Amino acid sequence: MAEQGFPSQHTTTTTVTSSNTTVQTNIRFDALYIRFLPGMLKVGQIAFNLLGFISMLCSITRHFSRGEWFNTVAMGGFWFTGIMLVLYLFHVVEKFYRIPWLKIEFVFCAIWTVFYLIAASLACAAGSVSEANIVAGIFGYVAMVLYAYDAFLKFQGIRSGAIAQGDRVVNKSSSTTTSPAY
């Protein structure tokens, strides 16, 4: 007979989580990447980086420190994002799937969001000197929003355990065992 306060049976639940990563390790060109949201974001980021850079080059304040900073941010974003786009288009990211691409891109996008906030604000602050600064600042703010949204998507991917390219299937199975208490 069981004592008072003790359960008459004991339940044990075991959860097993397994993941299966499927990648193709051959390098191949896939233009469909541009049609998906991450690809469209990268194309938009490249376009607004370039438009902001050209706009600042048209400004008479381009050789001032704020113009140089804006162009440094624009070209840094242009080259990093352009290289990442090429790596995704040719599935190099999928080939080297063990590299934490999402974390690298998340850190870059988060930093570039802050950099563009500063650079675009400085460019717009000099708008009374040159209208091209205002145009560059607007392009900078749009690029900032694109980088912020991309950082948000990368953060969600990191939290869910996704990989940058390829498929990862996570399977969870639970079993419950009930045994009598002695």
pLDDT tens digits, 63-75: 898 999 999 999 9
Cα 24 to Cα 95: distance, rounded to the nearest angstrom: 7
Q: Which of 113, 141, 178 is nearest to 52 (CA)?
A: 141
Mean of pLDDT values over 168-173: 61
Q: Where are the beta strands (DSSP E) in 58-181?
A: 167-180
Span of 47-51, 167-171, 176-180 with lowest mean pLDDT: 167-171
Cα 105 off chain centre by: 5
pTM reported for the whole predicted model: 0.81
Q: Which residues contact 94 (CB under 8 A, 6 or more apart)?
A: 23, 24, 25, 164, 165, 166
pLDDT: which is higher, 8 or 115: 115
Q: Could you tell me if 123 and 134 are in contact, meaning their C-beta atoms sit under 8 angstroms apart? A: yes
Both structure tokens of 160: 């869910």
- The pLDDT of residue 177: 67
DSSP track, 25-85: -S----GGGGGSHHHHHHHHHHHHHHHHHHHHHTSTTTTSHHHHHHHHHHHHHHHHHHHHH
What was the pLDDT predicted at 69?
96
Provide the residue type at 24 as one letter: Q
d(CA 10, CA 26): 52
Question: CA 84, CA 90: separation in Å to the nearest integer?
Answer: 10
How many other C-beta atoms are found inside a 10 Å radius of the C-beta of residue 177?
Answer: 9
For residue 123, which amino acid is it? A
Of 9-23, 76-90, 98-112, 135-149, which range is least confident? 9-23
Count of H helices and E strands in the chain?
Answer: 5, 2
* Overall average pLDDT of the 38-59 stretch: 97
- On whether the CB atoms of residues 136 and 56 are closer than 8 A, the answer is yes
Q: What is the largest CA-CA distance in the chain?
A: 93
